[in-house]
A and B are shown apart, each in its own frame.
Chain A
């Protein structure tokens, strides 16, 4: 039997909220998608005014990060280096537009986050990173509650 770690709805909401908090009010409206390790949506939200393209691409970025297991900007570098194109994957949902980050815990992919809407893919990526950092912090906090408090030599 195998066990997969998967991001849950509670963590997904915290991750999305971290992005919205970082975005603030004085920017273009954004869309934020958090998906599980298979690329299926767990939580999606958008600010008023986010366009239809923003909605679709936020989901595609998150999907790519989780399904491929690479942050979307890193993946672009990788397939460009390998001389491949996105079309090689025969999957309309994958994209190399920056702004998708893979979420991991215990070295496993547990999901992905995608952000679109700032009008610039690198700004999207920086905002999505805030969500990925929040997810990492949740992971660290959880580890702290479970770790053996004794010094290593005393275990």
Chain B
């Protein structure tokens, strides 16, 4: 027997509130995804004016981060670009190399994934990091 750890609603809501707090007037409407250790959504949030495709994209990012245990930008650089692999090699249509998905860790173990869409990928990642920090986990 072994136990797997995952984030729950409590952590997800902390992250949600911190991100909404951090948004400024210059930010576009956002889509936010917080997923558990299997990449399944714990919390999905799409602001007025954010197209549905943004949430779909963010779901793929969070899924990838949670399942592979990597930030999607690192996945793109170290696997796709450096080793000339393609996304099809993973045989999973939800895997993406778009920047903005961050793996959530607690004491070294992957316990979830968080991703945003709506702004530039750099801003998306920065906002996701704010949410991650607000969860108060031990990296």
Contact = CB atoms under 8 A, between A and B. Distances in A.
Nearest to A55: B40
Interface string B32-49: 000000101111111110
B52 interface: yes
A9 B43 CA distance: 13
Interface string A33-48: 1001010111111111
Contacts, number: 42
Contacts of A41: 44, 46, 52, 55
A52 B38 contact: yes
Contact of B41 (A9, A44, A47): A44
B30 to A, nearest CB: 10
* Range for the number of chain A residues in contact with chain B: 10 to 19
Given A40-B46, A40-B52, A41-B55, A52 B8 contact: no
B106 interface: no
A8 interface: yes
Nearest to B56: A40
A9 B38 contact: no
Contacts of A48: 8-10
Given A52-B38, A52-B40, A47 B46 contact: no
B52 A9 contact: no
Nearest to B50: A9
B8 A9 contact: no
Contacts of B46: 9, 40-43
Nearest to B6: A48
A36 B53 CA distance: 13
Given A40-B52, A41-B55, A9 B45 contact: yes
A146 to B, nearest CB: 19
B27 to A, nearest CB: 14
A28 to B, nearest CB: 14
B48 A8 contact: yes
Given A42-B45, A46-B43, 18 more contacts: A9-B45, A9-B47, A9-B48, A10-B48, A40-B46, A40-B52, A40-B55, A41-B44, A41-B55, A44-B41, A45-B43, A46-B42, A47-B9, A48-B8, A48-B9, A52-B38, A52-B40, A55-B40
Interface of B: 8-10, 12, 38, 40-48, 52, 55
16 contacts: A9-B46, A9-B48, A40-B46, A40-B52, A41-B44, A41-B52, A41-B55, A43-B44, A43-B45, A45-B43, A46-B41, A46-B43, A47-B9, A48-B8, A48-B9, A55-B41
Closest 4 CB pairs of A and B: A40-B52, A44-B44, A48-B8, A8-B48
